Structure 1
């Protein structure tokens, strides 16, 4: 027998398991992945959720209210870091978790769930970056005011199979301390706060401040910077203001590549993020070394300096 209920549907996905299998071997990697998924499931149930099904490296859970789902998401991010730190060698690849949730009516049939909230949550998961939790406006609306304050609006996304775009919000962790992105790849954090970022794409140059971020780069005509190239995903990457820096997050299938200044080294992002500093080149889908690669140039600015040099 089926019944209609109003609830929050949460999808969680562990990414990076492929590299883990290559590094640790099948037996050890399978143990780490299985243990990690089990930890996620226990957290969901501990916060009042019910695991509907496991999906390879992830799961689907159902909560009567989004407050429990938000608590579970935060605990998952913290717990997975501890699990990975104790279960893997220090130089092995790191798994990351992506979480998405949507609130609304669903139909329960034989222990499974169907409906718009299920579809939206599943497709929203594709847009989550490493260790991110994304929710819809409908989910945000039923949270307590103090919890809503911990979410930051991103943008309206076109999800596969839906005509109308969905407004998306990202959960901000309470964890304090320096932004790990500021020292990624051996870079030191800037001593002054950047005030703007210039982006140049296909001859069009714009300067963005904190107030008109985030911006989306991709193949979709809804993107702020649209590159009509088959190697570029519809929603390929996002640039936003995060922890006092301009942060680039890859949301694509083929990855995003960043070259800073005149350095020959290229930073590869696959559902990951890095802080943008100085000037450089963002390449979508392929390495900057490829001829005719789709690219966006960037320059981080301070407006009280002299006029920036042209890119």
Structure 2
């Protein structure tokens, strides 16, 4: 039986695991990453939370209240950043969370709060905690928690961008850049960063307030690339903090060429499209099947 209840949803993703798999091999790397995930599960239980599922190198957890989730997130970051074994392997985590109404069904949760938390996780960088301003505002006793505004972000299913914040978990924040208060929505709408994608006669234009744009073999993606070497949901493109960011979620990886630079392989990681133009090839090198290659152009107007 399903029921609705307010919960804090937290996603924590291991950063640095791709290189670990490449250098140590699958078995050794999986054992090390599992150690990180076990540590995150322990902290989740300590703060009254529940581990819902493990998705590759990511955990999804729920907490009864926003404060539980926020404190758990800070403890997760402190644990991973101070563990000698994790430091040795250059591992870190990025966390996104949100408190809101959820639909609870047996051992899983669904709904807008889950989608919003996942979006926060996608915005977070290595060693960062990103959450919605509403999650922090709803906490009456924040204690030692400190936050800074990160402006606004688009979330799928919401008409307007929402305000997001960075949770400052470090004991020493003297080296952290101060971010000014959120930009007014009217001002944000005046910015004109755009991305132009070309694929097999199609021309797609994204602006910086567009939601995450998905590419893959399934028809449910924003752009379908129907090829056997392409994953069902292969990659995403979104605008984050001044840059267009390509994220690979695939089995075979994504080949990217920025300008005239050498083509590189991206696998379960992200890259900023810093060049004004370039190419994206899903699942294989560009030269193997040129007809399936995407061209991109970054436009600032």
- TM-score (norm: length of structure 2): 0.62
SS of aligned partner of 2:20: helix
- 1:155 aligns to 2:150 (yes or no): no
CA contact (8 A) 1:127 1:251 kept: no
The answer for the alignment partner of 2:36 in structure 1 is 36
- 1:236 aligns to 2:234 (yes or no): yes
CA contact (8 A) 1:210 1:241 kept: yes
Taking a change above 3 Å as real, the CA distance of residues 281 and 18 of structure 1, as seen in their structure-2 partners, is closer
CA contact (8 A) 1:249 1:272 kept: yes
Residues 189-200 of structure 1: matches in 2 within 5 Å?
195-200=193-198
Residues 34-183 of structure 1: matches in 2 within 5 Å?
35-45=35-45, 48-52=47-51, 59=59, 61-73=61-73, 75-77=75-77, 79-83=79-83, 87-88=87-88, 94=91, 96=93, 103-106=101-104, 114-117=107-110, 144=137, 152-156=153-157, 173=166, 176-177=176-177
Taking a change above 3 Å as real, the CA distance of residues 155 and 41 of structure 1, as seen in their structure-2 partners, is same
In structure 2, C-alpha distance between the alignment counterparts of 1:268 and 1:20, rounded to whole Å: 15
Q: CA deviation at 1:255?
A: 2.0
- 1:274 aligns to 2:268 (yes or no): no
Q: Which stretch has the larger CA shift, 56-65 or 201-210?
A: 56-65
In structure 1, C-alpha distance between the alignment counterparts of 2:43 and 2:129, rounded to whole Å: 15
CA contact (8 A) 1:223 1:235 kept: yes
In structure 1, C-alpha distance between the alignment counterparts of 2:250 and 2:213, rounded to whole Å: 15
Q: CA deviation at 1:171?
A: 6.3
Kindly provide the CA deviation profile for residues 42-91 of structure 1, in whole angstroms up to 9, marking residues without a partner as x. Answer: 43245x3334478586655431124432453455356534547863256x
Taking a change above 3 Å as real, the CA distance of residues 34 and 283 of structure 1, as seen in their structure-2 partners, is closer
The answer for the alignment partner of 2:181 in structure 1 is none
SS of aligned partner of 1:76: helix
The answer for the alignment partner of 1:261 in structure 2 is 259
Q: CA deviation at 1:116?
A: 4.0
In structure 2, C-alpha distance between the alignment counterparts of 1:37 and 1:206, rounded to whole Å: 38
In structure 1, C-alpha distance between the alignment counterparts of 2:18 and 2:210, rounded to whole Å: 37
- TM-score (norm: length of structure 1): 0.60
Q: CA deviation at 1:247?
A: 1.6
Q: Which stretch has the larger CA shift, 210-219 or 52-61?
A: 52-61
In structure 1, C-alpha distance between the alignment counterparts of 2:227 and 2:119, rounded to whole Å: 20
In structure 1, C-alpha distance between the alignment counterparts of 2:237 and 2:192, rounded to whole Å: 14
CA contact (8 A) 2:50 2:63 kept: no
Taking a change above 3 Å as real, the CA distance of residues 224 and 115 of structure 1, as seen in their structure-2 partners, is closer
Taking a change above 3 Å as real, the CA distance of residues 7 and 255 of structure 1, as seen in their structure-2 partners, is same
CA RMSD of aligned residues (A): 4.9
1:284 aligned to 272, 275, 282, which one? 282
CA contact (8 A) 2:52 2:107 kept: no
Please list every run of 5 or more consecutive structure 1 residues that lacks an aligned counterpart in the other structure. Answer: 108-112, 157-164, 179-192, 304-311
